[in-house]
Amino acid sequence: MTPMRACAAGCGKAARESESQKVSWYETAPGLPNDTEVLFLALLWVQDAASAAEAAEWAAAVLRFKAAGSGESWPPAGAEWKSVGGRPSPLCKPMHRVLAELPASEARLQPIRTAMKAWRGAGERGDLQLHHLQNYIRNLPLGPAASTKTKPVPRWRSAGILKVAALIKEHGPELRKLLRLDVPAEEVLSAVEELEQKNALLVEKEVLLAEKAADLLRVQARHRMAAAQVQQHVRAKREWKQAQAALFAERLKEAKARTKEQAVKKLAERGERQNEKLATEYEEEVTKLKESVARARALKRAAVSGAGQAHKRLKRAQLAEGLLKRAREQLEEAEAEQPELNSDSDEGESTRKLGRREANGRFATAPWQVTPLIWAQLGRRVSPSAVNANITDVLSAFAPGEQVPLPCEREMKKKRGELTVAGEAIAAFRVAKCKRIISFGWDESTKFGLGLLSTNTQIEPHDAPGTSVDLVQRGGALTAGRGPRNLLPRPTPLALSPAC
C-alpha cells in the first residue's frame, strides 16, 4: 500500500469513526431494543428467511409466548427457549444465525440500509451508514438482566424479540418488498442502473417543477392584470361618482336660482298689486276728502247767508279743515311708503314677509310670550280655531305694528296636551312658593283613568297674603318641615315636594 493510499484509508476510517460518534441510534446500556433496532433485526431475519411463510410461521411461534413478555420472567419456560450444549434454542436459532454466523458484508447489509431509509413507519432512519450496522452486529448490545445474580443476555434474546416477531407478522410482505426479495434476479437493478433511474426521475420532476413555476408565473401575471383592471375600474367609478356629484350640485344650484327668481317675481307682482290697491284706496280717500271739503265749503257759503248758524258752520269748517289736514298727512305718508314698497330689498322679501319668515326663508317660530296667551285661551275653553283670531285682535288694537307668527289650528290642538303639564307645573311652583298650606287632600280619580295620587290643595299665595287659592296637583307628597322656605338652604326638602 502506498503512503497516499494509507493516508486516504486512515482519513476514511477517521471520518467513519467521526460519523459513528455523531450518529446515535441505540443505547449502549443494557435495555430493550428501540424501534430502529427492532426494524433492523426484523429485516435481517426476513432477508435470511427462505419465504414469507417461513418468517410468518416463526413470528407466530414467538408471539405464542407474548403473555410472558417481561424482563423478569424472560425467557419463558419450555423446550422452545431452552439452550442445550451451548447451542441456541429452536426459536432463537434464526436470529443467532443472521447475527453470529452470517458475515456482515456490504452485499448483505446495503439492501437492509436502503430498506430502513425507505421505510415509512416507526424506526425509519435515513442517516445510517454501512459501518453503523456492521458495528451493531460486531458489538451486540445487552438486554436487561433477569435478576441481579444472572448476567444480561444479548438484546436480541431479551423480551424485545416479541416486538421483532410482531413487526414481521404485521408488515412481513412490506419488508420483503423493500428488500426486493420477491423480484427475479434478472430484474434487480444494479447500483448504476438504479442511480440512472433515479436521475431520470429527478429530471422529470425538475421539468414538472419548471412547468409548475411557469404556471405560477402565468397565474401571478393574470392576478396582477386583474388587480390593475380592478383598480382602473375603481378609479373610473370614483371619477363617475365625482362627475355625478358635480352635476347634481350644479343642477341643485340652478334649481335654487330658479326658485329664488320665481319668488322674487311673485313678490314683485304682489308688490305691484298692493301698490295698485293702495293707489285705488288713496284715490277713493282723496275723492271722499274732496267731497267733504266741497260740502264744508258749501256749508260755509250757506253760513254766510244765515247769521244764526255762523258759529255752528265755523265749527264745521274747522272740523273739515282738520279732516283735510289729516287726509293730506295720510296722503304724504302713503306717498312716502310707496317707494319702499316698490323697492326690492337684498333678500327680495317684504316687511310682512320678514316678520313671518327668517333670513333663510323658513317660517319663524312663535315667541315664547305667545305660549302663556294660548294656554290662557285654551284654559278658558276657547276653541282652537278661535285662539289666533283673539290674540291677533288684541295685538291689532294695542300693537298694530307688531307681526307675530302664530301656530296653525292643528298645532293649537296639540297645545291642549301641553296645557295639562303646564298647569301641573305651575300649580307645583305656586305650592312651593306659597306662604302656608291651608288644607291638603287627595283623590285617586284622574281624567287619565289612572290610579295616581291627585292632591287637592288650598294655599295662601306668596304674592297675595291673606287670600286663599285652590290648586289641584297630580302626584305630590307632604313631608314634615317648618315650611317651604327650608327647601333652598337644606340639601333634602322638608316641605311639600311635587313628584312631577
226 is a domain residue: yes
Report helix, strand or coil for 407.
coil
> Residues 80, 184: one domain?
yes
Element housing 459 (H / E): strand 454-460
Write out the three cell numbers for 443.
283623590
- Secondary structure class of 316 (helix, strand, coil): helix
Q: What is the pLDDT of residue 224?
A: 94
179 shares its domain with 55: yes
Write down the mean pLDDT value for the chain: 77
Taking phi first (over 0 means left), then psi (-120 to 50 degrees means alpha), and beta for anything else, what does residue 140 get?
beta
**Are 167 and 27 found together in one domain?**
yes
Q: For residues 184 and 201, state if they share a domain.
A: no
Contacts of 111 (CB under 8 A, 6+ apart): 47, 179, 180
Q: Which domain does 271 fall in, by range?
A: 195-340
CB 414 within 8 A of CB 373: no
Instruction: Examine residue 437 and state whether it is found in any structural domain, yes or no.
Output: yes
Residue 45 lies in a domain: yes
What is d(CA 155, CA 30) in angstroms, rounded to the nearest whole number?
Answer: 8
Cα–Cα nearest to 402, from 370, 359, 448: 370
- Domain boundary among the residues 168, 188, 208 is at 188
- Of 162, 203, 129, 187, give the one whose Cα is nearest residue 38: 162
Instruction: Enumerate the β-bridge partners of residue 443.
Output: 454
Of 128, 153, 188, which marks where a domain is finished?
Answer: 188
Q: Is 315 exposed, middle or buried (0-12, 13-18, 19+ CB in 10 A)?
A: exposed
Residues 190 and 172: their CA atoms lie apart, in Å, by 24
pLDDT at res. 247: 94
Model confidence pLDDT, tens digit, residues 38-85: 888 888 888 878 788 888 888 888 888 877 655 556 777 777 777 777
239 assigned to some structural domain: yes
Please tell me whether the overall predicted TM-score, pTM, comes out greater than 0.75 for this model: no
Long-range CB pairs of 494-497, under 8 A, 24+ apart, other chains included: 495/432, 496/431, 496/432, 496/437, 496/440, 496/457, 497/432
**Domain edge (last residue) among 188, 203, 225:** 188
Single out the residue of 36, 38, 87 nearest to residue 62, CA to CA: 38
Q: Are residues 51 and 168 in the same domain?
A: yes
Same domain, 87 and 103: yes
Alpha-carbon span 494 to 171, nearest angstrom: 98
- Same domain, residue pair 168 and 306: no
| pLDDT score recorded for residue 496 | 38
* Same domain? 237 vs 171: no
Same domain? For 61 and 97 the reply is: yes
> 437 by DSSP, 3-state: which?
strand
Tell me the mean pLDDT per 10 residues along the chain, length 500: 45 50 75 83 81 83 74 71 77 81 81 82 82 82 75 79 84 80 58 76 91 94 94 94 94 94 93 92 92 87 65 76 81 70 45 53 77 88 89 87 82 86 85 88 57 72 89 59 46 38
Residue 484: the pLDDT is 47
Residue 363, in any domain of the structure: no
SS3 475: coil
Residues 116 and 207 in one domain: no
In the chain, the number of structural domains is 3
Is 287 a domain residue?
yes
Rg (CA), the chain: 62
What's the CA gap between 175 and 197, in Å, rounded?
22
Q: How far apart are CA 391 and CA 378, in angstroms?
A: 12
Helix (H, G, I), strand (E, B) or coil at 442: strand
- Residue 353 in domain: no
- The answer to whether residues 234 and 170 belong to one domain is no
* Claim to verify: residue 232 and residue 172 sit in the same structural domain: no
- How does 151-164 read in b/e, with b if 16+ C-beta sit within 10 Å? ebbebbbbbbbbbb
Residue 141 within a domain: yes
Helix/strand/coil for 365: coil
